[in-house]
Amino acid sequence: MNKKAVFNTLCFLVIFLGISMLLSAAWAWYYRDGDLPAILGSVAICVGFGVPGYLLTRGRYNLTSRDGFAIVTLGWATMALFATLPFLLSGAITSFTDAFFEAMSGLTTTGATILGDVGRHPHLPLGIESMPHGILFWRAFIQWIGGMGIIMFSVAILPFMGMGGTALLRAEVPGPTVDRIQPRIRQTAKTLWLTYAIISATEAFLLRIGGMSWFSSLTHTCTTMATGGFSIYNDSFNSQTPYIQYVIIFFMLMAGINFTLHGKLIMNRENHYKGNREFLFFLSVIGFFTLLLFISNSLHSYGWGEYSLRHSLFIATSITTTTGYGTVDYETWAPSAQMLVFALFFVGGSAGSTGGSIKVIRILVVLKYVVAEVRKLIHPHAVIPVKIGEHTIPDDLIRNTLGFLVFYLGIFLVVALAVSFFQVDMVTAFSASASALGNIGPAFGLVGPYDHYGWLADGAKWILSFAMLLGRLEIFTVMVLFSRMFWK
């Protein structure tokens, strides 16, 4: 591993993070909540650390896959560390553990927060709606950065620094990966970011004409497109109009779809949605669970009508895409509906989307594999390939997918067990583990959609923070750093 190249890239990321804080500083100056000095101080610290380190290690490097794994994992951890500065210096969050948890939750687009409603949780020193505007925007913007991936952004920039970006992209998206839109990896990264920005601008405009302020529309755009879920309201979208809720549903769906499909349509005028099996399966999953939730909620909660359908669709979309927004407290739903919601914790968005969890393409591969194995029981001598559409899935990809699934479920159980050691009940521990690893945010029990994680012991917060990182980088990218072979 080229330690000099790794450190040089980390310094560049810290500089980028510091400069991006200036957007939050602009909102702090506009609203004059008193958080401007803290944000500017955070900018100074990031730039003051990053610039000397970058200049002292500047050079032309050819990154290997090993360097890529180190940069991605250490990059996310370093970004989360420096992202705590505005929280701490402003006094909005006084505990370093809480600030790191909030920053990691933001960058990994998890959306789990230690902030809550002061009215419902009087022991909490500061609720979401009491936060300064600059800090609220910072929470949202780090999700927007993390959504497409700060490392993906670096792929477009690193060639100008004499570094190749392919190793970084491979480490950033280690599972079923995005297709290249352009022949060169740097052009692909630029196209993805431009697509991300165009869709984000469209959402912000639609939210604004729906009655939201520019501040509210921009912050919620950041967290919607990132499938992050941080809201500036204590009740998320419960008090918003049906128009706003439907706009959010549409853009959560957009964020949960492979961005290369969006990019090819926007940049190349090529429609690849039709016939894309992953895309159709993704919509089918949301449609199927929406129907089941609608039936359950109509029978037990809301009666038959648009209200029941809208909330069922919103929650099904929010959880499947791992956004974590809410319009209602799904813990008040019937047990059948709650079980459906928990099942969606293990689905996730498409490959190449900003969604987390297992990803629908892996679910589809496993289902196809199971069907093929059942057919082999009937015809033991037949050669039955696993196919998605016209494409045959290679055996090594099937093994990788099954290995990932077993590893994912194993870590889910280990994290739940570890959290339970901090006097956390079983429902809360299991759902918090699934939520953190799937980058979802809200869970069940004492960390439900209208609760928060602030009451957890510090040890539980650090465990869940690590689970968020594992989930965002799809486990293997992080775990490879704990291998002895990696360091030999």
Q: DSSP letter at 421?
A: T
366: left (phi over 0), alpha (psi -120 to 50) or beta: alpha
Confidence at residue 174, expressed as pLDDT on a 0 to 100 scale: 46
Other beta carbons within 10 Å of 61: 19
Compute how many other C-beta atoms are within 10 angstroms of the C-beta atom of residue 100.
22
Q: What is the pTM of this model?
A: 0.90
Residue 206: pLDDT over 90: yes
Q: How far apart are CA 271 and CA 242, in angstroms?
A: 30
- Say if residue 181 is exposed, middle or buried (CB neighbours under 10 Å; 0-12, 13-18, 19+): buried
pLDDT tens, residue by residue, 41-77: 999 999 999 999 989 888 777 777 778 788 888 889 9
Q: CA–CA separation, 348 vs 176, rounded Å? A: 13
CB-CB contact of 145 with 14 (8 Å): no
Alpha-carbon span 401 to 404, nearest angstrom: 5
Residues of the chain above pLDDT 70, percent: 90
Question: How far is it, in rounded angstroms, from Cα 216 to Cα 220?
Answer: 6
- For range 115-139, the mean pLDDT: 71
Contact between 317 and 249 under an 8 Å Cβ cutoff? The reply is yes
Examine the pLDDT at 94 and tell me if it is beyond 80: yes
Does residue 187 carry a pLDDT above 80? no
Supply the pLDDT for residue 316.
96
Closest by CA position to 100, among listed 115, 90, 87: 87
CA distance 332 to 347: 22
Cα–Cα distance for residue pair 325/109, rounded to 1 Å: 12
Query: Of the ranges 80-89, 161-170, 255-264, 325-334, which one carries the lowest mean pLDDT score?
Result: 161-170
At residue 428 the predicted structure's pLDDT band, cuts being 50, 70 and 90, is very high
Q: So what's the pLDDT on residue 157?
A: 44
481 pLDDT tier (thresholds 50, 70, 90): confident
C-alpha to C-alpha distances, 116 to 100, 110, 141, 451, 484, nearest whole angstrom = 16, 16, 19, 7, 42
The pLDDT confidence band at residue 163, using thresholds 50, 70 and 90, is very low
Largest CA distance in the chain: 74
Q: How confident is the model at residue 120 (pLDDT cuts 50, 70, 90)?
A: very low
What radius of gyration, in Å, describes the C-alpha atoms of the chain? Answer: 22
Q: What is the pLDDT of residue 123?
A: 42
Identify the band that residue 129 occupies on the pLDDT scale cut at 50, 70 and 90: confident
The full length of the chain comes to: 488
Q: Which of 149, 194, 192, 157 is nearest to 174 (CA)?
A: 149
**Residue 418's pLDDT is what?**
96
Residue 90 CA, chain-centre distance (Å), reads 25
Mean of the per-residue pLDDT values of the chain: 86
Residue 108 pLDDT: 92
When mean pLDDT is compared across 1-15, 235-249, 302-316, 434-448, the lowest value belongs to 1-15
Q: What does residue 86 show for φ and ψ, rounded to 5 degrees? A: -60, -35
Averaged pLDDT for residues 27-34:
94
Q: How confident is the model at residue 127, as a pLDDT?
A: 72
State the DSSP H helix or E strand holding residue 82, giving kind and residue range, or none if neither: helix 65-83
Backbone angles phi and psi of 273, in degrees to 5: -70, -45
d(CA 106, CA 138): 9
Residue 392, beta-bridge partner list: 387
State in Å, rounded, how far the first CA of the chain is from the last one: 9
Q: How confident is the model at residue 171 (pLDDT cuts 50, 70, 90)?
A: low
- The Cα 388–Cα 391 span in angstroms is 5
Task: Extract the tokens encoding 396.
Answer: 């090594």
Residue-wise pLDDT tens digits, 368-418: 889 888 888 888 877 788 887 777 888 888 888 888 899 999 999 999 999
d(CA 25, CA 41): 10
